[in-house]
Amino acid sequence: MKGVKPFLDSVLRNRLATHLLFWMGLVGIFVSLASLNSGTIKANVANYLALLPVQIGAAYLLNYYQIPKQLLKKKYLDFFIGFLCSIYVFTVIGRLSIIYIAEPFFREDFTQESLREILSDSAYLFSVYFPSVYVYALIMLLIKAFQNRFREKHKIEVLQKEKAFNELRFLKAQIQPHFLFNTLNNLYGLTLAKSDLAPEVVLKLSEILDFILYQSNEPRIEIKKELELLNAFIELESLRHGKKLNVTFHHKIDDETVTLAPLLILPLVENAFKHGITPTTKKAEIVLDLKVDGGHLHFIAKNPKGFKKSPKSIPSSSSGIGIRNLKRQLELNYPKTHDLRVLDNEEHFEVQLELDLV
Q: What is the pLDDT of residue 297?
A: 94
The rounded distance, in Å, linking the Cα atoms of 33 and 29 is 6
The rounded distance, in Å, linking the Cα atoms of 96 and 151 is 40
CATH of domain 196-356: 3.30.565.10
Regarding pTM above 0.85, the answer is no
The rounded distance, in Å, linking the Cα atoms of 209 and 211 is 5
Angstrom distances, CA of residue 171 to CA of 188, 225, 268, 323: 26, 20, 15, 11
Q: In this structure, are residues 260 and 229 in contact, taking their beta carbons and an 8 Å threshold?
A: no
Q: What is the pLDDT of residue 40?
A: 63
Say whether 98 sits in a helix, a strand or coil: helix
List Cβ neighbours of 20 (8 Å cut-off, separation of 6 or more): none
- Sequence-ordered strand ranges (E) for 200-347: 221-222, 245-253, 259-260, 284-293, 296-304, 338-344
Q: Which residues sit opposite 299 in a β-bridge? A: 290, 353
Return averaged pLDDT per consecutive 10 residues of the chain, 358 residues in all.
Answer: 53 70 76 62 72 88 90 90 91 86 68 74 83 87 84 70 57 56 67 70 74 73 88 83 85 90 84 75 84 92 68 41 75 86 84 89
Q: Domain spans of the chain?
A: 4-156, 196-356
Q: Do strands 245-253 and 221-222 pair parallel, antiparallel, or not at all (unpaired)?
A: unpaired
- Which of 186, 182, 183 lies closest to 206 in space, CA to CA? 183
Q: What is the pLDDT of residue 319?
A: 44
Q: What is the pLDDT of residue 275?
A: 78
